[in-house]
Chains A and B, each alone.
Chain A
Amino acid sequence: MRTLILLAALLSCATSLRADDASTLKAGVFEPARAAPDFTLHGSDGSALKLSRYRGKVVLLGFGFTSCTAVCPITLGTLAAAHKKLGAQGGDLQVVYITVDPERDDAARLKKYLAAFDATFIGGTGSEAQLAAVRKDYGIAAEKVAGPDGSYTHSSFVYLIDREGRLRALMPFGHPAEDYIHDLKILLAAP
């Protein structure tokens, strides 16, 4: 009996180690992981959006704008599909999408746009200076394209932030929902 308990304990340790083995992620992994820079913006839910509010959850952090026709709908659609497929496990997942277009994207517009993908997604907006500071902290490029439609080119990847608020990985644009699910299961399995 004692041997069985010992074996179960060893198996449990091995499983927990494997569960958070960053080297198996489909996304690009940072080593060592650093603390994700905190920020305070206007949340699409009407409250102050602070990243630290989601400590204890796994956060997917992306940047874009609601008028984007090329990148954002695909990324958000993929994240919504991943969240849905995770089922109950997805309860500890929070998607945060920060606009690069504060002129047009106020909290209400972000809320309506994100709700079309997943009602739990939170958007962030603020002054141009506030948003530029966040982009700088995360190495995000965003540039307004000259023309009548006021479009932007912007970084298209999504950061994966673990429950402890560490910037663990970066998923380049174009990965399918299955890759997100794979990595999120690993991060969500960690206590």
Chain B
Amino acid sequence: MKVSRRHWLAIALLAGVLGTIAWAALKPVQFASREEVFEIPKGTWARRMSGDKVEILPAQIRLTLGVRDVLLLRNLDDVPQVFGPTIMMPGQSFRLPFEVASSYTFACTAHLSGQMTIVVEPQPLSPWARLRWRAVSLWKAVA
């Protein structure tokens, strides 16, 4: 049986897709840093005073154990800011590690709702969990 050029292309494409899925499922999820960084830029207070409703933090932050499980907040503004769970002085940072997968709610005046939720998900250890984690991350990046 003679395989046409079009079939070879389809086979190569299929092999590529399967290879990508296998890589995504088998390669452990790792980054150089486990910190998820959020910063209050300089001038934020002045912008707020002028009536600009600046949102610094998302209402919900998602972290993943063993991958991105450290929240790093930095106040680069010139005034103290209630940021996340606490007050931070100008130039100060706050580094909060998480070790338990759960949902954490903090009072936070940076949000109109007055609270901030941090969802810490379990470490993606199984092939299916890694695949799902990468698919969700890809979806968030392109959405």
Contacts and interface: CB of A to CB of B under 8 A. Distances in A.
Given A139-B82, A141-B107, A155-B107, A29 B95 contact: yes
Given A34-B89, A139-B86, A172 B94 contact: no
A149 interface: no
B85 A172 contact: yes
A188 B91 CA distance: 27
A95 B9 CA distance: 70
Nearest to A29: B95
A172 B117 CA distance: 13
Interface in A134-191: 137-139, 141, 155, 157, 170, 172, 174
A32 interface: yes
A171 to B, nearest CB: 10
A170 B92 contact: no
B41 interface: no
Contact of B92 (A27, A34, A137, A172): A34
Interface string B82-102: 100111110111111101101
A interface: dominant SS: mixed
Interface residues of A, number: 18
A23 to B, nearest CB: 8
B94 A30 contact: yes
A28 B93 contact: no
B93 A31 contact: yes
Interface string B40-60: 000000000000000000000
A157 B96 CA distance: 12
Interface in A112-149: 137-139, 141
B92 A30 contact: yes
A137 B87 CA distance: 8
Contact of B97 (A26, A31, A34, A155): A26
Interface of B: 71, 82, 85-89, 91-97, 99-100, 102, 104, 106-107, 109, 114
Interface of A: 23, 26-32, 34, 137-139, 141, 155, 157, 170, 172, 174
